Amino acid sequence: MSFDGKFYIITGGAGGIGLATAKYLAKRGARILAIDRQKASFSQSEAEFDRITFETCDVTDRKQIETIIGQAVEKFGMPDGLVTSAGVDRHHDFFSLSDDEFKNILDINVLGSFRFTQICARLWKEHPRQDNSTYAVVLLSSVNAIIATATHTAYATSKGAVAQMTRVMSVELAPYGIRVNAMAPGTIRTALLDALVKESPDALDSVLSRTPLGRVGNPEEIASSIAFLLDDASSYVTGQSLYADGGRTVQNLILKK
């Protein structure tokens, strides 16, 4: 796939899946605006970073989002697509989970994606494609949208909401040449996973015992799938959740011989 001349906005772009996606697309010619709550904490010396601009933005602040997207359009032109990778995953015992903690996860994981998509879609509606191609949105869902794990009430609810929001958005935005799909990763090697494993050392072994491929995925493997959903190769795909989970969701229990 080539993304020469394309421009994409990626939230959560300073680490994990977001950064891997930014680098994957940039290596293939795209210009990227990578947005994150915090400044990138790594050396931007690799060649692909010449095509990645990093900016800070709070995905819960609509005014900040409107400002940063407006500035991006002035500088780089109309974005060809959007990836909403910003998100949080926190373990909460059900009996101690507070309203504020629940609302915060929904605000970031669900409303953050909604805000970015709505603001971009308003621009795209006023600037329809002239060549029958489409704008593309990829929202980050998760296997937790359809499987249940203890201590994930808020997180799983948020990802289930993202999956359904994807379907509804795809119907409403299709007449304007906008495709909307969700990427639903399984267990992926990121700083977030490392933190969760540190908190619960046995958690990873438990997950891998229910993953047919028997390993953790890499961010780059998710990035390539996201790239497919952005590319014209998936021009007839909308309203779908693409699961990249090593087979976890098709086989919830593996019986050892």
Residues noted as catalytic: 155
| 3-state percent breakdown (helix, strand, coil) of the chain, nearest 5 | 45, 15, 40
Question: What's the CA gap between 14 and 40, in Å, rounded?
Answer: 5
Which residues neighbour 93 within 8 Å (Cβ) at sequence distance 6 or greater?
151
Question: What's the CA gap between 75 and 83, in Å, rounded?
Answer: 19
Q: Please report the DSSP string for 72-85 in residue order.
A: HHHHH-S-SEEEE-
Distances (CA, A) of 92 to 151, 177, 183, 193: 5, 40, 24, 16
Q: 31 near 6, Cβ under 8 Å?
A: yes
Q: 32 near 13, Cβ under 8 Å?
A: yes
Question: What's the CA gap between 230 and 167, in Å, rounded?
Answer: 16
Nearest to 121 by CA among 108, 130, 134, 109: 134
Q: 51 near 4, Cβ under 8 Å?
A: no
Nearest to 142 by CA among 244, 4, 62: 244
Question: What's the CA gap between 155 and 106, in Å, rounded?
Answer: 8
